[in-house]
Structure 1
């Protein structure tokens, strides 16, 4: 008779309590180096289109031979943001590489929020100028807040400017950011928010460009993070052309980054416009920023190895902590 095994359950509160940005940023660096070196087997993620522009996705992968493997089942409901709910909902399942048994189930909304921001912060640390002090964030949802918190760990940010479509919500968001220990000013137009900013993060559900290259000054670093779709684009063609474009995954950019795909399809750019994957920048095999005047762009599409690395960091940090478990 099968004896069963205890499976640890990490709810959203458990993830927020135990997974620190510092630990997750380090995990993102290591994971993306391994990914770019071809040491993390995975399969392309798949999405099922649902009513109302929503999607259900599945991501499957491994952190390497003899290391943990798992899957992420994720629902993308962009409209949730309007109701104060996470746009990403689901779970991450981790399996024991020794015998294949299920070891942990983790709330995907909280894990995704922290790991996405941590991946951007790791990229910011590698690509932004060391003297960066001003951060502009487009959006006022959960990812906007986690990006501010994560980037504060890698740069001495003195000023944050926030933009969102609803000025009242943006003002409330800015007040909440005061808890991060940095001043945040709500700005009514995007051009004003990004004017002269050292770092810009786009964290919106926009499917057409809201950020234009003509607004970006030399030396800026940009994290493009928002809604991903093969024909969607938060940024315009000019910004893609002006920037040193660095991917989390080349394959993901070719499949899902609308702003890149349209230029590639029309022959304006070639595959070579991707300077490197971020893992190659971390390892020193490629150069991200060459000079202070470069505009650097990190294209965040998300990858299962990031989820698994964040999950492993969470499990390690929570080791010895009494958490809920079920016998399966």
Structure 2
């Protein structure tokens, strides 16, 4: 068994490579070549969570699961909110091939899936990016968006102004583009072509009346039925796409709450990203349409990333071999 730590995971799994891996696995999921069950979530004390996310990649003969803890207040302790590992098995022999750091996979593949959605749904001329949130996903989403669109201006908003200012300064220096901290979320999204909501909020941080016509939104923060980042008016006004239909109708508060309110009807979801990749689903209908990708994060994405990392680690002689 190979143990691959977070540093090695980040070295092996570049954002560009991960975007390609996510395209392939999302298409495989929609075609039935990849299988997963709904995540199981166990509540822990203090509002914390422990999750189990199993899946199976038929073509790669790989099976396994991500084990993850979600501790929203860990940032106050100087710790990441999401920590875990992906256990990767050989689906032909049952051998445990690898344990791969789950935090780095989550950070990279979440933004890579948003990049796939942006490639498929955002206008080709999209150049102004707004990011709501200042944490790890804000950093990875900026990197991912720069790979799929010619971004010329970035605006960031967060609940802590100092963090937003630091993010803006660091990212401007890293990428050599204009990055500014906005005083409000509304100010951040004004005239934005692409909006990424990557917050830990359980109530709306983005309202429909603020969003310009023709914008594309990647909403990846809220991941439970009672949580959402978007108001109902925005969801109702958008063409809604998801990573997995079964997951969305059970877990996505950004869909379930507007549905319960009567703001949208069943069938409001236009389709899966995999369906778009397979050309089974229609995408953006006009330059003025608002498109919305609601991402929950899927077991199959973690497994595909872990399988790629494992294969590359064997070639590059990375990781530590452990006898079981």
Q: Shorter-chain TM-score: which interval?
A: over 0.9
- After TM superposition, the structure 1 = structure 2 runs for residues 65-76 of structure 1, keeping only pairs within 5 Å, are 67-76=61-70
Conserved in 2, the CA contact under 8 Å of 1:218 and 1:293?
yes
Deviation at 1:69, TM superposition (A): 0.9
After superposition, the Cα gap between the structure-2 partners of 1:84 and 1:222, relative to the gap in structure 1 and judged at 3 Å, is: farther
Shift of 1:83: 4.4
Aligned to 1:302: 297
Distance in 1, matches of 2:96 and 2:176, equals 40
Query: Residues 40 and 63 of structure 1 are in contact (CA less than 8 Å); yes or no, is this contact kept in structure 2?
Result: yes
Q: Which of 14, 17, 20 is matched with 2:14 structurally?
A: 20
Residue 252 of structure 1 and its aligned partner are, at CA, apart by: 1.3
251-260 vs 83-92, which moves further: 83-92
Q: Is the 8 A contact 2:56 2:300 kept in 1?
A: yes
Q: 1-side partners of 2:229 and 2:287: how far apart?
A: 25
Kindly report structure 1 stretches of 4+ aligned residues shifted beyond 6 Å: none
Cα distance in 1 for partners of 2:130, 2:53 equals: 31
* Alignment partner of 1:139 is 2:98: no
Asked if 1:261 is matched to 2:256, the reply is: yes
Separation in 2, partners of 1:106, 1:91: 6
In the TM superposition, what whole-angstrom CA distance separates every residue of 1:198-256 from its partner, at most 9, and x where no partner exists?
10000001001110000001110000010311111111000000000001111111111
Query: Which residue of 75, 79, 100 maps to 1:85?
Result: 79
Indicate the residue corresponding to 1:44 in structure 2: 38
What CA RMSD, in Å, does the superposition of the two structures yield over aligned residues? 1.3
Q: 1:56 aligns with which of 41, 50, 59?
A: 50
Shift, 1:37, TM fit? 1.6
| DSSP 3-state at the match of 1:271 | coil
Ranges in structure 1 where 5+ consecutive residues have no aligned partner: 1-6
1:117 alignment counterpart: 111
| Counterparts of 1:266 and 1:164, CA distance in 2 | 28
Counterpart position of 1:208: 203
1:278 deviates by 0.9
User: SS at 1:246's partner residue?
Assistant: strand
Tell which deviates more after alignment, 111-120 or 260-269. Answer: 260-269
Structure 1 residue 126 and structure 2 residue 120: aligned?
Answer: yes
Equivalent in 181, 187, 191 of residue 186 of structure 1 = 181
Answer whether contact 2:245 2:272 (CA < 8 A) is retained: yes
Instruction: Please say which of residues 260-269 and 193-202 is displaced more in the overlay.
Output: 260-269
- Structure 2 regions of 5+ residues with no counterpart? none
The 1:227/1:269 distance shift into structure 2, 3 A limit, reads closer
Range with greater deviation from structure 2 (168-177 or 101-110): 168-177
| Residue in 2 that maps onto 1:3 | none
Question: Counterpart in 2 of 1:160?
Answer: 154
Tell me the TM-score normalised to structure 2 length. Answer: 0.96
Q: Following the alignment from structure 2 to structure 1, what is the Cα–Cα distance between the partners of residues 220 and 47?
A: 18
Query: Do the aligned partners of 1:81 and 1:87 also contact (CA within 8 Å) in 2?
Result: yes
Equivalent residue number for residue 324 of structure 1: 320
Structure-2 separation of matches of 1:66 and 1:182: 39
| Mapped partners of 1:325, 1:233: distance in 2 | 42
Which deviates the most, 61-70 or 121-130? Answer: 61-70
Q: Post-superposition shift, 1:102? A: 0.5
The answer to whether residue 278 in structure 2 is matched with residue 283 in structure 1 is yes
Relative distance call for 1:51 and 1:180 in structure 2 (3 A) is farther
